[in-house]
């Protein structure tokens, strides 16, 4: 793989975008209250965690996810069954991100089932990954 074909600024922005999306997704305005209730958490319990460690590692993992997705989108066009060439753009980036998000959603769901998580928590966590990867793919595709 030619690493020079990756737009590292797009990777950084994509990673940051998913990290910011997580802040909104898990806020009380969206799914935060339901997520906390189903996980038997409250703000006091959450504040006892090492926030620098949690947010720092989460940010690094978001960047790794963006870089990984960029590597799938980097090497140029894919061939369609009809012989057409699909170039990486915002549409293909978003589609590729969405498809990657389906993989992650399924993994989150499998783990959640064995952990006896509620369907609501599985959908909140898996949905975040699905939307986040779609957003990352769109950003990476846009900057190709």
Per-position pLDDT tens, the chain of length 144:
678 889 999 999 999 999 999 999 999 999 999 999 999 999 999 999 999 999 999 999 999 999 999 999 986 555 566 766 667 899 999 999 999 999 999 999 999 999 999 999 999 999 999 999 999 999 999 998
pLDDT of 21: 98
- What is the pTM assigned to this prediction? 0.90
Q: Is 116 left (phi over 0), alpha (psi -120 to 50) or beta?
A: left
Pairwise CA distance, residues 90 & 52, whole Å: 33
Pairwise CA distance, residues 99 & 136, whole Å: 12
The answer for residues whose C-beta is within 8 angstroms of residue 39's C-beta and 6 or more apart is 117, 121
Closest CA to 104 of 13, 5, 18: 18
Strand partners, 85: 79
Residue 109: alpha-carbon gap to chain centroid: 15
pLDDT of 74: 81
Encoding tokens for residue 74? 């980097």
Which residue bears the tokens 């293909």?
Answer: 92
Give the count of beta carbons closer than 10 Å to the beta carbon of residue 139: 26
């Amino acid at each position: 793989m030619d690493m020079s074909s990756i737009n590292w600024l797009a990777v950084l922005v994509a990673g940051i975008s998913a990290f910011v999306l997580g802040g909104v997704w898990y806020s009380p305005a969206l799914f935060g209250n339901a997520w906390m209730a189903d996980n038997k958490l409250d703000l006091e319990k959450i504040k006892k965690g090492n926030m620098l460690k949690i947010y720092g590692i989460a940010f690094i993992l978001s960047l790794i996810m963006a870089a990984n997705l960029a590597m799938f989108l980097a090497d140029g066009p894919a061939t369609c069954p009809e012989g057409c060439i699909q170039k990486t753009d915002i549409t293909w980036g978003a589609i590729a991100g969405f498809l990657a998000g389906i993989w992650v959603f399924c993994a989150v769901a499998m783990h959640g089932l064995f952990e006896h998580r509620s369907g609501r928590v599985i959908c909140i966590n898996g949905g975040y990954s699905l939307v986040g990867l779609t957003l990352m793919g769109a950003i990476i595709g846009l900057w190709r």
